[in-house]
């Protein structure tokens, strides 16, 4: 049964169970501010405290506002210089209730008027631990106290594994964006997260695209078109939404469009946000799962990085963050270069069926590093899958060997149900 958006309540909705992780949504429309969140409080009748406490309170408020303004100005410069967001956009901030995301929400709201943003808040509960419900309630209170639309997504059963959790969250983001017209999702990944991701990918084994780790901005495919929607219903990726003000009325999908996933805090460390949070005295609900050492990333954070700081380089975090940024710039340049090369060497196949072909003569003239990148981009663009290094290298050696133009036709099967054929210096890729 399709879940519906619930009315304006603060407590999280009940959860149904399922063998496949689906999603239950709740929407809490913006209401007047009724909650006092933070350190600055008034008495019950609204009057200020005594003059002495008023003076010290004003001093504390100025200190808090100064800390917020400095970091907010820095964030605004980053967003402007890197063109992460535009004025007058509808922006959805992902808030878990932890330190980083609560600080991000505060900073985005400080910039909201200057950028004329419409800001909403989404909380995703993976059902990893019991305290996640209390964190969701805190986020709901924060959103209501600031008059923001709040959306809560709860997995119908626990989402196991980081990859599955990320896929589930992105599905939530796509659906909310399609239903409510959001153009960008803003997340609170920091420079510290970037370093941890870089080390995680390095330990797993990866190429430069993996080593650059988290990027400032990426695009998420929109919800599929009407012709594909039935398949998504089968996977519980699209549910029926109802307006709490008009029960039973379905809210139509807006025109699908690419959705920006923005990470504007990638040059801010977790310790900087910790200092900012202490100065602002903001409420938060720490996620206890961040300390579970059976999770790879937690072992990197709590064991590997402290060891590297102590025994190798006390500034390892800054060094690795700088390296990730260098790799990111080089990756962008090489991706654009390969795209330009493919524009000259790639064309549609002859015949009625779908397919692409690549001029191997031009490919052979490139350095080995570019040969690999062009082949990978050529295959990935058509298949929608990421071709691994071993498959790319096997393909490169076959295509770029001295005798490749004269040999008989060569055929290779690749992941995802596709076939690549090499004949007469033409490499073709078609569905199997």
Model confidence band, residue 240 (pLDDT cutoffs 50, 70, 90): very low
pLDDT tens per residue across span 364-388: 999 999 999 999 999 999 988 888 8
Q: How many residues does the chain have?
A: 432
Of 72-81, 219-228, 419-428, the poorest mean pLDDT is in: 219-228
Pick 432 or 56 by higher pLDDT: 432
pLDDT of residue 15: 32
Model confidence band, residue 412 (pLDDT cutoffs 50, 70, 90): confident
Pinpoint the alpha helices (H) of 346-414: 360-364, 368-383, 389-400
Closest CA to 237 of 352, 307, 153, 323: 153
Residues contacting residue 278 through CB under 8 Å, at least 6 positions apart: none
pLDDT of residue 10: 33
Q: Would the pTM of this model clear 0.95, i.e. be above it?
A: no
Structural contact between residues 133 and 96, judged by C-beta atoms closer than 8 angstroms = no
Closest CA to 90 of 181, 27, 174, 171: 181
Tokens in use for 271?
Answer: 């310790």
pLDDT of residue 141: 92
CATH architecture entry for 345-431: 2-Layer Sandwich (3.30)
Residue with tokens 């996977």: 235
Model confidence band, residue 280 (pLDDT cutoffs 50, 70, 90): confident
Residue 112 burial (10 A CB sphere; 0-12, 13-18, 19+): middle
* pLDDT exceeds 50 at position 426: yes
pLDDT of residue 349: 86
Of 11-20, 81-90, 260-269, 307-316, the poorest mean pLDDT is in: 11-20
* pLDDT exceeds 50 at position 92: yes
Going from N- to C-terminal start, the domains of the chain cover 67-225+253-312, 345-431
- The domain over range 67-225+253-312 is classified in CATH as 3.40.50.620: yes
* pLDDT exceeds 50 at position 9: no
The whole-angstrom separation of Cα 23 and Cα 156 is 5
Half-sphere exposure (CA, 13 Å, Cβ side) for 195? 24
């Amino acid at each position: 049964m399709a879940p519906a958006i619930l009315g304006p309540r603060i407590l999280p909705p009940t959860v149904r169970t399922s063998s496949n992780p689906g999603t239950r949504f709740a929407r809490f429309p913006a209401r007047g501010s009724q909650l006092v969140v933070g350190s600055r409080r008034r008495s019950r009748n609204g009057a200020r405290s005594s003059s002495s406490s008023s003076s010290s309170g004003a001093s504390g408020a100025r200190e808090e506002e100064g800390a917020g303004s400095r970091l907010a100005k820095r964030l605004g410069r980053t967003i402007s210089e890197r063109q992460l967001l535009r004025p007058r956009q509808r922006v959805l901030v992902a808030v878990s209730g932890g330190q980083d995301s609560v600080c991000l929400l505060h900073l985005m709201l400080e910039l909201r008027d200057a950028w004329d943003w419409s800001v909403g808040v989404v909380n995703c509960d993976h059902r990893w631990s019991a305290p996640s419900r209390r964190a969701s309630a805190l986020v709901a209170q924060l959103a209501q106290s600031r008059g923001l639309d709040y959306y809560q997504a709860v997995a119908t059963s626990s989402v196991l594994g980081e990859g599955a959790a990320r896929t589930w969250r992105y599905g939530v983001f796509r659906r909310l964006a399609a239903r409510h017209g959001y153009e960008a999702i803003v997340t609170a990944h920091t420079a510290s997260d970037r370093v941890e991701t870089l080390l995680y990918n390095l330990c797993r084994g990866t190429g430069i695209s993996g080593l650059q780790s988290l990027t400032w901005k990426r695009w998420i495919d929109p919800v599929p078109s009407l012709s594909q929607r039935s398949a998504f219903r089968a996977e519980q990726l699209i549910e029926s939404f109802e307006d709490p003000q008009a029960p039973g009325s379905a809210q139509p999908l807006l025109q699908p469009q690419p959705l920006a996933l923005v990470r504007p805090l990638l040059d801010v460390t977790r310790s900087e946000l910790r200092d900012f949070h202490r100065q602002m005295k903001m409420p938060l609900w720490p996620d206890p799962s961040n300390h579970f050492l059976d999770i790879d990333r937690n072992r990197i954070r709590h064991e590997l990085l402290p060891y590297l700081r102590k025994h190798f380089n006390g500034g390892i975090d800054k060094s690795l963050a700088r390296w990730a940024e260098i790799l990111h710039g080089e990756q962008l340049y090489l991706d654009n270069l390969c795209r330009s090369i493919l524009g000259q060497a790639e064309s549609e196949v002859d015949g009625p069926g779908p397919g692409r072909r690549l001029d191997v003569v031009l490919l052979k003239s490139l350095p080995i590093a570019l040969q690999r990148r062009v082949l990978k981009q050529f295959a990935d663009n058509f298949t929608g899958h990421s071709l691994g290094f071993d498959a790319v290298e096997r393909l490169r050696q076959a295509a770029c060997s001295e005798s490749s133009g004269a040999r008989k036709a060569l055929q290779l099967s690749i992941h995802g149900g596709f076939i690549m054929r090499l004949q007469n210096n033409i490499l073709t890729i078609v569905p199997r």
